[in-house]
Homo-oligomer: A and B are copies of this chain.
Amino acid sequence: MSSQASKRSRKASAARRRRPAQEAQRAILDAAEQRLLAAGPDALRLQEVAADVGVSHPAILHHFGSREGLMRAVTARALATLETDLVRRLADPTDVNGAALLERVFETLGDRGHARLVAWLVLTGLGDVPPGAGVRVVRAVADLVHRRRMAAGRATPADFEDSLFTIMLAATALFGDAIVGPQVRASAGLTADRHADQRFRVWLAGLLTEHLDRGAPTRARAPAQKARASRTARRS
């Protein structure tokens, strides 16, 4: 009766396992991210996250100091992985087609709920975190697109803002779609229509690529030497 259960008398309540700090933290961050995506930042409860991971809530405080520390860590990691994913997707040269690229970006943004998360962070004021540097993904993509456009003789350097705005529109629309897409579709009477979302995105990609292929539009002070697209954009 001295060692009734085992020699290391495990307390009835908890089988204690001790993981390396990094691993435990990763597990906690995973669980917290899940909760964040599901219910928003304000609804994040330490006890729930702890329960998900299988630890007690002070364990989380041990690793992250405070609830806010956890939040910071989660958002930092989420934004970092989002950026990584985006860059990888954009750099992926499998298909340089505009539609496919847009669809890839949308998947990256929407699939794991990243857009929702970012939206939440922005709305709660935590989205301003990117300190100084920030992620200039939009600028980078615009540079790329604009260079290709110029190489094709469809724009002049002066039209850069048109390229930039086009990419900004893509980003903005993708975000908006990820957040209020269903509502907009409902407001458009497309609730019954499955695949309406995908059709819309394909349509959008078409619009954007067509615009890019055609050349910059009436830039107010257009001198005579404006390089404009050949008559009918012969996009096959």
Q: Which residues of A contact B (CB under 8 A)?
A: 39-40, 42-43, 116, 118-120, 122-124, 127, 130, 134-139, 142, 153, 161-162, 164-165, 167-169, 171-177, 179-181, 183-190, 199-200, 203-204, 206-207, 210-211, 217-218, 225-233, 235-236
CB–CB B43/A188 < 8 A: no
Report whether over half of chain A's contact residues are helix, strand or loop; otherwise say mixed.
Answer: helix
Write out the residue numbers on chain B whose beta carbons fall within 8 Å of the beta carbon of A236: 153, 225, 227
Closest to A171 in B: B184
A43-B42, A118-B180, A181-B172 given; A189·B139 CB < 8 A: yes
CB–CB A119/B172 < 8 A: no
Q: Once bound together, how far apart are the Cα atoms of A164 and B134, in whole Å?
A: 35
Sampled A-B contacts (14; CB under 8 Å): A40-B40, A40-B123, A118-B183, A120-B123, A122-B183, A138-B187, A161-B199, A168-B200, A169-B173, A175-B179, A206-B217, A210-B217, A226-B232, A230-B233
Write out the residue numbers on chain B whose beta carbons fall within 8 Å of the beta carbon of A227: 235-236
CB–CB A165/B203 < 8 A: yes
Write out the residue numbers on chain B whose beta carbons fall within 8 Å of the beta carbon of A138: 184, 187-189
Per CB-CB distance, the 6 closest pairs between chain A and chain B, nearest first, are: A176-B176, A42-B42, A172-B176, A138-B187, A138-B188, A175-B176
